[in-house]
Structure 1
Amino acid sequence: MGRRPKPQLITTAERSPEQELRSRERRYVAMMLLRGLCVIVAAVLVTAKVPLLWLWLSLLLAGALILPWAAVLLANDRGPRPEHRFRNKLQARRQQQSHPDPAHALTDHEHSEPKIIDAEAPRRSDG
C-alpha cells in the first residue's frame, strides 16, 4: 500500500482576504496609537524636566518618526504566495526525496477518482 498524501488541516488553511485585511488594519491602528503615545510622553517629559531628558526625547522622537513608516509598510504587506512559502518548499523537497523516480511518484490511491463532497447535492435514501 502506498503512502497517502497528507490531508489539508484547518490550521494550515489560508486566511480569508477579509481576515487578513482586518489584521493589517488593526496592526496599523495599534502602531499609530503607539506613535501618538510617544509624542504625548515626550511632551509630558519636557514639562516635567526629568533627568537625562535628551536621551528620552531622542528615543521617543525616533519612535514617533519611524513608527508611521513601519506602520504603512506592514499595513500594505501581504503574506507570501503559497508557492513562495518556506514550509511549502520543504514539503516539495521531501516529496522529491521520497519519490526520486517520477513514474513512481503517484500511489494507487492518487490514481483513483477524487472523492467529491457537495453539501448541496441531493441525498440518496438506501432503503
Structure 2
Amino acid sequence: MKKQPILITDAARSQDEQFRSRQLRYVSMMGLRAACLIAGAILISVRPPLLGLWLALCAAGMVLLPWAAVLIANDRPARSKAERAAAAAEQERARPVLTQHSAEQVEYLTIDVEPTDDGERWAPAEPEPDRKPR
C-alpha cells in the first residue's frame, strides 16, 4: 500500500495550474449549455408531457450557464493571509512620501502677462453663467 506524500508547504498552486482548472470548468459548463440546446431540440421532436416546463428549464440553462461560466472562469482563488500581508507591505513601500515644507521654504510661481503685438493684454475667459467658478 502506497502512502500519499506529506504536504510540507502551504504554497499556492501555480498560475498555469489555476488557469488550466478554470479552462476545464469553463469548457464543462459550456458543454452543459450545448447539452441543454440538444435536449431542447430532442424534446420538441418527441413532445413529452409538460413540454413547456422542460423547454423552460433548457432555456434557463442555455441563458444562465454562459454567464455563470464566465464568472467562474475569471475567478481566482482567494489570497492567503501571507499573500495579503506581503501585498500590503509592498504597497506601503511603493507609496511616495511627501515632504513637509514651511511657507517660507515654498517658492510660488508667478505668471506675468506680457502685452501682445496689438497692445492688448490677454484676459481669461468669463465663466459660463450656469457654472460656478472654481
TM-score where L is the length of structure 1: 0.57
Q: Which amino acid aligns with 2:53?
A: L
Structure 1: segments with no counterpart, 5+ residues: 1-8, 86-127
Q: Any idea what the Cα deviations from partners look like across 1:81-103, whole Å, max 9, x if unmatched?
A: 11299xxxxxxxxxxxxxxxxxx
1:51 aligns with 2:49: yes
* SS at 1:12 equivalent: coil
How many residue pairs match? The answer is: 78
Cα RMSD, aligned residues only: 2.1
Distance in 1 between residues matched to 2:35 and 2:82, nearest whole Å: 37
**Which residue number in structure 1 is paired with residue 81 of structure 2?**
83
Q: In 1, distance between residues paired with 2:26 and 2:35?
A: 14
User: Counterparts of 1:1-127 in structure 2 under 5 Å?
Assistant: 9-10=7-8, 12-83=10-81
Larger helix proportion of the pair:
1
Instruction: Tell me which amino acid in the other structure corresponds to 1:16.
Output: S
Give the whole-Å Cα distance in 2 for the aligned partners of 1:40 and 1:11: 46
Q: Distance in 2 between matches of 1:74 and 1:84?
A: 24
CA displacement, residues 58-98 of structure 1 (integer Å, 9 cap, x when unaligned) = 0111011000000000000001111299xxxxxxxxxxxxx
- Give the TM-score, by structure 2 length: 0.54
Aligned AA (1:66): L
Deviates more, 1:11-20 or 1:36-45: 11-20
| Cα distance in 1 between the residues matched to 2:82 and 2:67 | 26
**Which of structures 1 and 2 has the larger relative contact order (alpha carbons within 8 angstroms, sep 6+)?**
1
Runs (4 or more) in structure 1 with deviation over 4 Å come to none
Cα distance in 1, alignment partners of residues 11 and 82 from structure 2: 15
**Cα offset, 1:44, TM superposition:** 0.4
* 1:13, distance to aligned residue in structure 2 (A): 2.7
